Structure 1
Amino acid sequence: MPTKTSAPSPRRSLQALDRLNLTLGDVRDVFEPYLAIFLTAERQLDPAQVGIALAIGNLAGILAQTPIGAVVDATKHKRLLIAIASAVIAISYLLIINFSAFPAVLAAQVGIGVAAVTVIPAIEAISLGLVGQKGLNQRVGRNEAFNRSGNAVTAVVAGILAQITGLAWIFYLLILLCIATIVLVFQIRDRDINHTTARSGHSQTTGKDLLHDCPLQVFSLAVFLFYMANAALLPLLSQKLTGGQQAATPSGFISASIAVAQFTTIPVAAWAGKAADIWGRKPLLLLAFAATTLRAFLYALNTDPWFVVWVQTLDGLSSGIFAVTIVIVVADLTQGTGRFNLAQGGIYTTIGLGAALSNLAVGWLASTAGFSIAFFTLSAIAAIGALWLWFAMPETK
């Protein structure tokens, strides 16, 4: 009599997902600061051109984010999307390294902007498709912990490379990480991914329906205020330190600041996935807002380089909580709609808009009213976001 076979376990695919998250170098948080230095020092671009190049990449990502979310919902080739995005990032950085013409830099930045916003929703969809709604909280925390571990090590290695071999080798490191990502993503078995679960259900809810979802609207504004307060803090601090008598070596300061935040995020992300089940989502989000409020306030009072590097632990706390909790809250609000990734795309578009407006408005404020006023303003925005979340946002657990 033939024996009854059990359903295949996704354990091997989950282990491959762990390894994949280690190699996903964060283009924005880890490599973009070095890109600004490279374009200024190696390509002799003026600050306005560097600003345009970075803004073009961010704008391309903002415009692509929501459509990319819809594509991730619709396709069963999520692994291929990650591989293509990784290849585009690698080719784009090769273009920047080997061609100094400004139009080539702009073209590469467009490719990087679109590819960078493709990877995150695809990873989150694969995670949901592997573990389901019940296992998502801890899986997202685990993803973030592995990703931040890889980012922290990458930041340290990048800082060493910048000092020993030059800035260009930082981007060759990213290219190697992209190649590793392409190899590792196909170690996740497609048969282990439930593509219906990966988009959070069967329903054909439309984008218009999601736009009229009140809790999702409330959450979107809270996310916008958080990134409005948070995004400009480190760039603004870098400008103040490197432009004054306390000037630090840019690459060394950036590496230390990034590494401290990333190392702090590792245990925070692993803890946040579990705490979301125990405490609920709202208390975690309020804690993240409180950390950002305090961080901006402390930067307004003291910008000694060693002090501010350690204050970056607050960035690790707030960023780790938000990175995990955003995915969980959106999954809560879209369960059964079949539009998990579309809603995620909308939220990440909100993040991009908040970050872009933060850098634009606060940069102007710092130049006209001074750095301290700019930091106090960011602290106030974070406090307003906390009040909005407290009074308007329901618990989604």
Structure 2
Amino acid sequence: MKATLALEALSFFMADVQAGIGPFIGVFLLDRGWRADEIGSVMSLAGLAAMVATPLAGAVVDATRSKRALIVAATLATTLASLALVYTRSYAGVAGSQIVAAVSASVLLPALAGVTLGMVRASGFDRQFGRNQMANHAGNVAGAALAGWFGWHYGFNAVFALAAIFAVLAVVSVLLIPAQAIDYASARGLDGDQAQRQAAQPRSPGRLRSLFVNRPLALLGASLALFHLGNAAMLPLYGMGVVAAHRGNPSAFTAQTIVIAQCVMVGAAWLAPRFIRKHGYWWVLLVSWCALPVRGVLAALVMNGAGVWPVQILDGIGAGLQSVAVPALVVRLMEGTGRVNVSQGAVATAQGVGAALSPLLGGTLAQQFGYAGAFLALGTVSVGSLALWLCFAGTLRPACAASCA
């Protein structure tokens, strides 16, 4: 098997590992009698833990040559932590399992980005990472469809069993990538001469400093934080809202929401490298920022089986474009620094701030004002990313255009 095919297989099976039972946790705990604000607080604790761990994970990815072993260890830890939910019902147990799963999963994205960069170099990164993301979204579709079907027929325990199967297949895919296929200097954003110079002068920017010393990178991180403050809670809340109104089977409806969004993400990930080369990163990300406010309004107005289509199509457009454009833009902005994966982690941390607080905000709003009010508020919050992107266009557009050239 070609190394890049094994990489795409890893991306496919890693999708279910990264997500764990995250999309299902809301309806899973709701079925156990948990309140919306309790569910939101657990998800926020997990998000905050991931936010703290992500820049450290990026630093580890930059520092280690054992990137394949790191992916295997993170995959196993994430899956075992998710499986622990079957055996615990206490708040502390559920929160602890989700925190461990989130911390372990935080390693996977920078590790996969580093391995990809080491295999295809910076010049081929956006194309190959686009292929990776197409496979990743297809894996989400397959995982969600199978989870929904098995959950419908056999209960939530089948969802956990499926996650374990995907984890085993992800580990097999890692082992099919030859170690010699990865250039470890390129995996950090260096060529051979730069790697030697950095070895002679090992001092380098701090883990989070890389986010602040590069202004376009800092603006990207801030925009992602605002976007995900509105975005992260919307999918689980939408599933909870429809299920709470007794308008659908919990497993099947949650799976439907995921499948629709992920199918659109496959197409968006395929188009993203082409749009980037034609129009640049600035325009591609601008389109992604616009999708969420509209999605919030639609979610508030149409909370039923028919509404899931436009709501999740918009999710697929925004998230699919970002899944390729954001990592590729970080590579372009940080090429030659040797701190590419730390910067990936720093940007993911900024994104994680919003994603961690979103379930707590959304769950509290839903408990106090209903699901429709929560969707409108979350959509309004996300307008901040659009405003920031437009206000600092003078700084961002030249940097993005230079990266795309």
Structure 1 and Structure 2 fold alike (TM over 0.5): yes
State the match for 2:363 in structure 1. 363
Where do 1:196-235 residues align within 5 Å? 196-201=185-190, 202=194, 203=198, 205-207=204-206, 208-235=209-236
Alignment check: 8 A CA contact 1:72 1:121 kept: yes
Where do 1:143-162 residues align within 5 Å? 143-162=132-151
Q: How far does residue 388 in structure 1 lie from its aligned partner after superposition?
A: 1.4
Alignment check: 8 A CA contact 2:13 2:169 kept: yes
Q: How far does residue 217 in structure 1 lie from its aligned partner after superposition?
A: 1.2
Q: Measure, in 1, the Cα distance between the counterparts of 2:63 and 2:156.
A: 39
Q: Measure, in 2, the Cα distance between the counterparts of 1:103 and 1:380.
A: 32
Out of 258-267 and 300-309, give the one that drifted further. Answer: 300-309
- Structure 2 residue corresponding to 1:96, chosen from 58, 81, 85: 85
Matched, 1:190 2:190: no
Per-residue deviation, residues 187-216 of structure 1 (Å, max 9, x unmatched): 111111111111112455402354222111
Out of 377-386 and 176-185, give the one that drifted further. Answer: 377-386
Where do 1:129-140 residues align within 5 Å? 129-140=118-129
State the match for 1:238 in structure 2. 239
Matched, 1:312 2:316: no
Q: Measure, in 1, the Cα distance between the counterparts of 2:19 and 2:296.
A: 18
State the match for 1:121 in structure 2. 110
Alignment check: 8 A CA contact 1:132 1:197 kept: yes
State the match for 1:349 in structure 2. 349
Where do 1:1-397 residues align within 5 Å? 12-27=2-17, 29=19, 31-41=21-31, 50-98=39-87, 103-201=92-190, 202=194, 203=198, 205-207=204-206, 208-244=209-245, 247-393=247-393, 394-395=396-397, 396=400, 397=403
Q: How far does residue 298 in structure 1 lie from its aligned partner after superposition?
A: 1.7
Q: Which amino acid aligns with 2:23?
A: P
Q: Measure, in 1, the Cα distance between the counterparts of 2:91 and 2:308.
A: 34
Q: 1:50 to 1:303 in 2, by over 3 A?
A: closer
Q: How far does residue 312 in structure 1 lie from its aligned partner after superposition?
A: 0.8
Q: Measure, in 2, the Cα distance between the counterparts of 1:287 and 1:353.
A: 22
Q: How far does residue 104 in structure 1 lie from its aligned partner after superposition?
A: 4.3
Q: 1:210 to 1:347 in 2, by over 3 A?
A: closer
Q: Unpaired runs of 5+ in structure 1?
A: 1-10
Q: Measure, in 2, the Cα distance between the counterparts of 1:23 and 1:382.
A: 30
Alignment check: 8 A CA contact 2:17 2:75 kept: no
Per-residue deviation, residues 34-66 of structure 1 (Å, max 9, x unmatched): 234334546x66666644543333232121111
Q: Which has the higher contact order (CA 8 A, sep 6+)?
A: 2
Q: 1:95 to 1:230 in 2, by over 3 A?
A: closer
TM norm structure 1: 0.90
What SS class does the counterpart of residue 24 from structure 1 fall into? helix
Q: 1:359 to 1:101 in 2, by over 3 A?
A: closer
- The number of residue pairs the alignment matches comes to 385
Q: Measure, in 1, the Cα distance between the counterparts of 2:79 and 2:172.
A: 14
Q: How far does residue 305 in structure 1 lie from its aligned partner after superposition?
A: 2.2
Q: How far does residue 98 in structure 1 lie from its aligned partner after superposition?
A: 4.1
Q: Measure, in 1, the Cα distance between the counterparts of 2:290 and 2:68.
A: 37
Q: How far does residue 362 in structure 1 lie from its aligned partner after superposition?
A: 3.2
Q: 1:367 to 1:282 in 2, by over 3 A?
A: same
State the match for 1:6 in structure 2. none
What SS class does the counterpart of residue 184 from structure 2 fall into? coil
Q: Measure, in 1, the Cα distance between the counterparts of 2:371 and 2:93.
A: 34
Q: 1:60 to 1:380 in 2, by over 3 A?
A: closer
Q: How far does residue 103 in structure 1 lie from its aligned partner after superposition?
A: 4.7
Alignment check: 8 A CA contact 2:234 2:362 kept: no
Q: Measure, in 2, the Cα distance between the counterparts of 1:100 and 1:232.
A: 22
Q: Measure, in 1, the Cα distance between the counterparts of 2:163 and 2:143.
A: 9
Q: 1:55 to 1:221 in 2, by over 3 A?
A: closer
Q: How far does residue 304 in structure 1 lie from its aligned partner after superposition?
A: 3.0
Q: 1:380 to 1:119 in 2, by over 3 A?
A: same
Q: Measure, in 2, the Cα distance between the counterparts of 1:355 and 1:314.
A: 18
Q: Measure, in 1, the Cα distance between the counterparts of 2:165 and 2:222.
A: 37
Q: How far does residue 337 in structure 1 lie from its aligned partner after superposition?
A: 0.8
Q: Which amino acid aligns with 1:227?
A: H
Alignment check: 8 A CA contact 1:30 1:151 kept: no
Alignment check: 8 A CA contact 2:229 2:381 kept: yes
Q: Which amino acid aligns with 2:100?
A: G
Q: Measure, in 2, the Cα distance between the counterparts of 1:32 and 1:272.
A: 26
State the match for 1:8 in structure 2. none
Out of 20-29 and 112-121, give the one that drifted further. Answer: 20-29
Q: Measure, in 1, the Cα distance between the counterparts of 2:110 and 2:388.
A: 26
Q: 1:30 to 1:296 in 2, by over 3 A?
A: farther
Q: How far does residue 292 in structure 1 lie from its aligned partner after superposition?
A: 1.4
User: What fraction of aligned residue pairs are identical, expressed as a percent?
Assistant: 29
Q: Measure, in 2, the Cα distance between the counterparts of 1:39 and 1:300.
A: 23
Q: How far does residue 144 in structure 1 lie from its aligned partner after superposition?
A: 0.4
Out of 21-30 and 232-241, give the one that drifted further. Answer: 21-30
Q: How far does residue 165 in structure 1 lie from its aligned partner after superposition?
A: 1.4
